[in-house]
Structure 1
Amino acid sequence: MTKIDFKKTIDAYRAPRGRFERLEVPAMRYLMLDGHGDPNTSPLYAASLAALYPTGYAVKFASKEELGRDYVVPPLEGLWWADSMDSFTTARDKSAWKWTLLLMVPEWIDHDLVNAAAARARTRAAAKRGMVQAALERMGEIRLETLTEGDCVQTLHVGPYDDEAATLARLHHEFIPDQGLRMTGRHHEVYLSDPRRVPPERLRTILRQPVTHQH
């Protein structure tokens, strides 16, 4: 059985370091969870991560066992927005941030498989000692949706998450308007590195912004 690694087959999972690249991102399907607040301190964010990963792996194993199709669970992704996008580039007021956490699933996965796998994941999680109740509740809120971004600009950021502001400022206020474009949709990040295993200075994160032509 071939195991597909989407980081190697989908162009949207690759980005250049040190420059901005424009590309067409295909419609993709994700497990999604919404929330708000500082990702470093928010209990909701921590509970969402604790809910999303077991569900994502349950879906992957169900695909392998029931459909005979195996794949590497893709990296965590996040959509980020706020009432004022300056909270990402200047003030960095993380308490004002809103987010949707994402785990991509292949197009052959349907809602029935996701629902059954998610139920099994919740049952297993509930039996574990120390499983936070908030995470169990969040597991019940995961949904499967398609995200269509289309025309986008992205780059690879290497370093701590808090060092993204300067790159985002150039993207938002220089590159995009200079190309006759304007921002549409939500700021999108793809976390290619695991912050539990990789030091901050080596974290690799794709920064993506959907765009459209100015009118």
Structure 2
Amino acid sequence: MAFDYKKEYKEFYLPKNKPEIIEIPSMNFIAVRGQGDPNEPDGEYKASIGLLYGIAFTLKMSPKGDYKIDGYFDYKVPPLEGFWWMDGMEGIDYGRKETFRWISVIRLPDFIQRKDFEWAVMEATQKKKADYSKVEFFNYTEGLSVQCMHIGPYDDEPQTIRLMDEYARENGYHVDITEERFHHEIYLSDVRRCNPQNLKTVIRHPLKAI
């Protein structure tokens, strides 16, 4: 049976719908950076998702070809994630989506090294006849964070974020979003098939002791 990151690491992907504090280890990702409204039908964000999955599935399906990855085991591609910010302000203003800046990512299994990622970019470029030059190997150490499962539309996230902020303060921390530590979302629902009221999104913010 394929290794399922959501089931094996429930503490990272399936938190309860109430805030909790957690230490997040360093992880490697496939990443694409961009800016603008993620809801634009032909926008940069939609294009980034196609690029991410192109590389993710090239790596997953590598055993069917000649390239061999050391330590490979069968796995399910982890969920889509995103780091979000807006220049010149703390937090996120959901009414100004056109000014969003983001890094769209998919987690890489630990056995995948940079050389394997570089092979996948070349392989996907040749086989799919597409430009993967925007895709990068991205390491991120999130560290101490507050997280919560948000259930409902993305535009309702501020309600959950307020609960997270309050919980952090009650426990002696404040949210520490900087140019290197981001508002983080993990998407557990397929927005194309799910009622907006039922969307499940993990929201995670970095913390610093008061």
Check the 8 A contact 2:191/2:199 in 1, yes or no.
yes
Taking structure 1 as the reference length, the TM-score comes to 0.85
Separation in 1 of the partners of 2:163 and 2:99?
21
Deviations 1:101-135 (A, max 9, x none): 01001111011111111222122322xxxxxxxxx
Hey, what's the Cα distance between the residues in 2 that align with 1:29 and 1:64?
Answer: 23
Q: 1:15-38 deviations in whole A, cap 9, x for unaligned?
A: 111x10111111111011111111
Amino acid of the structure 2 residue aligned with 1:84 = M
Q: How does 1:1-215 map to 2 (within 5 A)?
A: 2-10=1-9, 11-17=11-17, 19-41=18-40, 43-62=43-62, 66-67=68-69, 68-82=72-86, 83-88=88-93, 92-126=95-129, 136-137=130-131, 139-172=132-165, 174-184=166-176, 185-214=181-210
Please identify, of 56-65 and 200-209, the stretch whose mean Cα deviation from structure 2 is larger: 56-65
Q: Is the 8 A contact 1:77 1:189 kept in 2?
A: yes
State the TM-score, normalized to the length of structure 2.
0.87
Percent identity for Structure 1 against Structure 2: 33
Which amino acid counterpart does residue 13 of structure 1 have in structure 2? Answer: Y
Distance 1:74 1:63, change over 3 A: farther
**How far apart are the structure 2 equivalents of 1:124 and 1:86?**
40
Aligned pair count reads 199
Which residues of structure 2 form unaligned runs of 5+? none
Q: Which has the higher helix share?
A: 1
Counterpart of 1:187, as a letter, is H
What is the Cα deviation at residue 46 of structure 1? 1.4
Evaluate the alpha carbon distance shift between residue 93 and residue 169 of structure 1 in structure 2; reply closer, same or farther with a 3 A threshold: farther
Question: 2:85, 2:91 within 8 Å by CA — same for their partners in 1?
Answer: no
Displacement, 1:147? 0.9
Cα RMSD, aligned residues only: 1.8
Change (3 A) 1:140 1:61: same
Question: Which runs of no fewer than 5 residues in structure 1 stay unpaired?
Answer: 127-135
Q: Do the aligned residues in 2 keep the contact of 1:31 with 1:144 (CA within 8 Å)?
A: yes
Look up the equivalent residue of 1:183 and give its one-letter code: V
